[in-house]
Amino acid sequence: MGAPKFHSLRELAAGLPCASRRGLVERFDSTIGAGSVTMPFGGKTQRTPAQSMTALLPVLPGQETEQASVMAYGCDPERMSVDPFSGAMDAVVTSLTKLVAAGADYKKAYLTLQEFFEKLRTEPERWGKPFAALLGALEQAELFSQVSSIHLEATQLTVRYLERFDVKMRINADFSYSLRLMQAVRKELEAQGSTEIRGSMDLTQKEQDAVFSPEK
């Protein structure tokens, strides 16, 4: 666990995360298309930033709908810089908390962790960042005990899943989506054949979401 970047409330308040984003938000007209359910700023004086975005689902011309989607984010760049493992876990908790506060059902939430890391080179501390973020995602997805090893390479990593599957993922992949896809592929394979099927899953292909190669 690294040391926090800010050592006082004054330093924290002077950081960009605490700065007003009103000028940036007002560059965009949220009323275009009349799909916005919640405005970017609320409260008595319309100065309180919204914790989530709610918008009606798009429909064909002449049609109407009352169904809407709610979106929220939870990534704290300062927290991620100090500890990618805890930062990834906190991002999930924070975003789900915002959704619940907006009235959404957290059980129906679709999580996505958009990852981006610098070139790893040969510096151990750089290699630790995607590794720690993936461990945080595994912990939140309750898959930690089902993964026995993780092998890191320059542009991808390989996860040993249930001691039966070697799963390849891109370093800058959406780890949350990749883990859900990994589970979905395993369930589909087991539904079609033996529960002891073994092999490798390649989630790095651009043409297909996943490619499975059975163990010979």
pLDDT, tens digit (0-9, with 9 covering 90-100), for 175-209? 888 999 999 999 999 998 778 899 999 999 887 88
pLDDT for 3: 53
The one-letter amino acid code at 173 reads: A
Residue with token string 């320059």: 154
The mean per-residue pLDDT over the stretch 12-31 comes to 82
DSSP 179: H
Q: Given 3.30.2010, 3.40.50, 3.40.30, 1.10.3210, which CATH number is that of 110-216?
A: 3.40.50
pLDDT, tens digit (0-9, with 9 covering 90-100), for 123-179? 888 888 888 888 888 888 889 899 999 998 888 999 999 999 999 999 888 888 899
Give 95's contacts (C-beta < 8 A, 6+ positions apart): 72, 73, 74, 109, 111
Specify the pTM. Answer: 0.69
The DSSP string of 9-42 is HHHHHTSGGGS--HHHHTTS-TTGGG-BSS-SEE
Kindly give the pairing relationship between strand 199-202 and strand 41-42.
Answer: unpaired
pLDDT, tens digit (0-9, with 9 covering 90-100), for 85-132? 888 889 889 999 999 999 999 999 988 887 677 888 888 888 888 888
- The H-assigned helical ranges of 64-174 are 77-82, 84-101, 124-140
pLDDT for 1: 45
pLDDT, tens digit (0-9, with 9 covering 90-100), for 54-84? 999 999 989 999 999 999 999 888 888 888 8
pLDDT for 21: 81
